């Protein structure tokens, strides 16, 4: 197999491994749209990172966190429903990213690659970023696991039990931002959340514990990466969308499998 195929596979599997547990949390916390909103702001992070002369991944994490704070502030005012606020932030952030990119004439980027991913052009440096950032995020999830679950179940109970709810919420947003930053090049900012949500949703029916759902979601994600990449190579299809289509097919197939409860 060619090197670029191996790198694509390694990158995709690394991201699926990370997206499994974090995607499960996104599903449990009903934050799919929130994840989408953060992902849409990633483009703005890329241009800001370029303007400030820092790594685009740093720019993406920064913008995601800023957006998360903006969301919290708007939610606290309770003037608008959360999904309306998310809709405003999501599309403004995406458009702002596109507009700012157009302004920067010196910035030559492949816009389509950022929007839909370019998994076959993964460089060794990208791979290092994915596994480095991914390891940090995964370690964070493992260390905070019980407390993140508690906050997911009931924030008030967690607070009365003395858990730092705000800090945990912030940590969760940071983890999601990290996933977005490292997986942007693979599936693109428009499709990132699908890699978090679809495998987790597929895993739900077969899981009896939160842990088994997270692990199974990672396995399903890796299977989707493998199938999507093979299809992409065989029939010359776009990589990122092929992976997502494979994940969706897996979801359909999994919902047809009878489960004894």
Partner 1 sequence: MSIPLSGTSASALPAASSTPHPHGPLLEAKGLSVMLGGRSVLDRVDFAVQPGEIVTIIGPNGAGKTTLVRAMLGLVRPSSGSVSRRKALRIGYMPQRLNIDVTLPLTVRRFLGLWRAAPGAGIDAALEEAGVAHTAGTPIQSVSGGELQRVLLARALIGDPDLLVLDEPDQAVDMHGQAELFNRIETVRRRRGCGVMLVSHDLHTVMARTDRVLCLNRHVCCSGPPQDVSRHPEYHALFGRHAADLAVYLHQHDHAHDPDGSVVRHDHGDCCHG
Q: Which of 18, 213, 243, 250 binds partner 1 (CB under 8 A)?
A: 213
- 3-class DSSP state of 259: coil
CB of 27 to partner 1, least distance (A): 5
User: Per CB under 8 A, does 29 bind partner 1?
Assistant: yes
Separation between Cα atoms, residue 57 and residue 233, nearest integer Å:
28
Query: Which lies closer to partner 1 via its Cβ, residue 35 or residue 117?
Result: 35
Separation between Cα atoms, residue 41 and residue 29, nearest integer Å:
20
In the region spanning residues 147 to 166, those forming contacts with partner 1, defined by CB under 8 A, are 149-150, 152-154, 156-161
Q: Quick one: which of 218, 213, 215, 193 has its CA closest to 203?
A: 213
Q: Quick one: which of 57, 46, 185, 60 has its CA closest to 116?
A: 185
Q: Which of 10, 28, 82, 169 binds partner 1 (CB under 8 A)?
A: 28
Separation between Cα atoms, residue 152 and residue 207, nearest integer Å:
17
Which DSSP helix (H) or strand (E) runs through 176?
A: helix 165-187
Separation between Cα atoms, residue 62 and residue 57, nearest integer Å:
9
> Would you give the binding string for partner 1 spanning residues 161-200, x where CB under 8 A is met?
x--------------------------------------x
Separation between Cα atoms, residue 191 and residue 36, nearest integer Å:
8
Exposed, middle or buried by CB within 10 Å (0-12, 13-18, 19+), for 219?
middle
In the region spanning residues 119 to 148, those forming contacts with partner 1, defined by CB under 8 A, are 146
User: Per CB under 8 A, does 91 bind partner 1?
Assistant: no
Q: Which of 209, 235, 258, 260 binds partner 1 (CB under 8 A)?
A: 209
User: Per CB under 8 A, does 204 bind partner 1?
Assistant: yes
User: Per CB under 8 A, does 201 bind partner 1?
Assistant: yes
Query: Which lies closer to partner 1 via its Cβ, residue 66 or residue 159?
Result: 159
CB of 210 to partner 1, least distance (A): 6
CB of 32 to partner 1, least distance (A): 11
187 neighbors 242 (Cβ within 8 angstroms): no
User: Per CB under 8 A, does 259 bind partner 1?
Assistant: no
Q: Which of 96, 207, 215, 226 binds partner 1 (CB under 8 A)?
A: 207
20 neighbors 199 (Cβ within 8 angstroms): yes
- The footprint of partner 1 (CB under 8 A) covers 27-30, 78, 146, 149-150, 152-154, 156-161, 200-201, 204, 207-210, 212-213
């Amino acid at each position: 197999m060619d090197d670029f195929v191996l790198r694509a596979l390694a990158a995709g599997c690394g991201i699926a491994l990370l997206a499994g547990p974090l995607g499960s949390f996104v599903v449990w916390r009903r934050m799919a749209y929130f994840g989408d909103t953060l992902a849409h702001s990633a483009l703005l992070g890329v241009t800001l990172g370029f303007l400030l002369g820092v790594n685009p991944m740093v720019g993406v994490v920064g913008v995601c966190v800023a957006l998360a704070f903006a969301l919290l502030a708007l939610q606290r005012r309770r003037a608008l429903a959360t999904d309306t606020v998310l809709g405003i932030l999501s599309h403004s952030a995406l458009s702002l990213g596109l507009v700012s990119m157009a302004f920067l004439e010196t910035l030559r980027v492949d816009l389509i690659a950022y929007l839909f991913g370019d998994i076959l052009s993964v460089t060794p440096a990208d791979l290092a970023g994915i596994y480095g950032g991914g390891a940090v995020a995964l370690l964070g999830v493992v260390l905070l696991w019980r407390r993140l679950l508690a906050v997911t179940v009931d924030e008030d109970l967690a607070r009365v039990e003395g858990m730092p709810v705000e800090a945990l919420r912030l940590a969760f947003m940071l983890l999601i931002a990290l996933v977005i930053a490292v997986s942007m090049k693979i599936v693109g900012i428009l499709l990132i959340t699908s890699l978090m949500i679809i495998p987790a949703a597929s895993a739900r029916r077969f899981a009896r514990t939160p842990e088994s759902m997270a692990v199974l979601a990672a396995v399903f994600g890796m299977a989707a990466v493998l199938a999507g990449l093979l299809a992409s190579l065989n029939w010359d299809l776009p990589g990122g969308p092929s992976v997502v289509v494979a994940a969706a097919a897996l979801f359909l197939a999994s919902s047809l499998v009878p489960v004894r409860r």
